[in-house]
Amino acid sequence: MKCSKARDRANSFRPILQKIVLLISIFPWLHGISAYATNLKPETSASFDHYVRIAEARMENNLEGARFLVIDQLPEGQRKQAYEQLHRGEIFIQEMNVQDGNGPIRIPNGLVHHWAGVIFIPKATLKEVNDVLQDYENEARIYDPEIRRAKLISQNGNQSKVYLQFFSKSIITVVLDGYFDVTLKSIDKTRSESYSHSTRIVEVTNPGTADEHERTDGGDHGYMWRLNSYWRVQEKDGGVYVQNESITLTRTVPVMLAWIVNPLIKSLPRDVLAHMLNDTQDAVRKKSKGSMAAPLEDKGN
């Protein structure tokens, strides 16, 4: 049994390791990409806002009836397989795509990463999951190391303003400060949703030092310009289904390198989503056992 678990861990780690090896192999080219600044242009922002409006209209339409989760919107055979997958303890992840009446929405000078994932937590309750999702001060503990700092800035009823500091270290270290407006909505006794819209995302210079500060020199590299996140929670089948749908805006890459870099750019959000759902599940299980510790101290040093 122990050998089987060890093999499972090795198999789950192997795809990430392969990506790291590939990234290292193209390091000289990626270093060139990261070196230049590319600020968010008005036309890019406007196109992203258009994309989000259509995506959110689709989400709103699916509130009614039996289409609350993305798996409920699948054809019958695929829907059944997805539920079986979730009840085996696996994560369901799907790349999403939004179109308007004219076809795919073009985002000039930008890339949209739109993914949805669902996980099933047996024996959990709606309240336990919502308690974790609203535990803003503890997000640095729950989603370590991707989130280094978290703070609830203000709260008024179901409206909150939240600060998060994101951390990513691979070939280069990227630290971003993000500010979000978060809204919680109770739908009925078994369903709820929350959504957050980034109001400002800015790169951090000299992170972890006495000179750490947000960039004001116009040297943004476009690692993440916008991030909207949508949670849906449904209690049924002896547990809780937890869904996250995220829409992220980043810069594009040079055409001559797109064939190498774009597959990595597309796969990394999927990996982050899987980790986030697993971390949420772990936090819910800990909370249900009464083992959630006091809020974590600042991890910036």
pLDDT of residue 218: 64
Q: How far apart are CA 122 and CA 239, in angstroms?
A: 4
Contact between residue 115 and residue 245 where contact means Cβ atoms under 8 Å apart: yes
Tens-place pLDDT, residues 17-57: 444 444 434 444 444 545 555 678 899 999 999 999 999 99
What is the pLDDT confidence band of residue 59, given thresholds at 50, 70 and 90? very high
- Residue 272 included in any domain: yes
pLDDT higher than threshold 70 for residue 258: no
Residue labelled with tokens 């750019």: 265
- Residue 69 included in any domain: yes
- Residue 64 included in any domain: yes
Structure tokens at 92: 């369901």
Look at the chain and report how many structural domains it folds into.
1
Contact between residue 224 and residue 250 where contact means Cβ atoms under 8 Å apart: yes
Full domain range(s) for residue 79: 2-288
Give me the CATH number covering residue 174. 3.30.530.20
pLDDT of residue 262: 59
Of 132, 126, 117, 131, give the one whose Cα is nearest residue 191: 126
Tens-place pLDDT, residues 69-125: 999 999 999 999 999 999 999 999 999 989 888 888 999 988 899 999 999 999 999
- Residue 296 included in any domain: no
pLDDT higher than threshold 90 for residue 287: no
Neighbours of 141 (CB within 10 A): 20
What is the pLDDT confidence band of residue 296, given thresholds at 50, 70 and 90? very low
CA distances from 159 to 135, 211, 248 (A): 14, 33, 22
- Residue 297 included in any domain: no
- Residue 301 included in any domain: no
pLDDT of residue 201: 92
- Residue 155 included in any domain: yes
- The three-class DSSP label of residue 295 is coil
pLDDT of residue 300: 44
- Residue 8 included in any domain: yes
pTM over 0.95: no
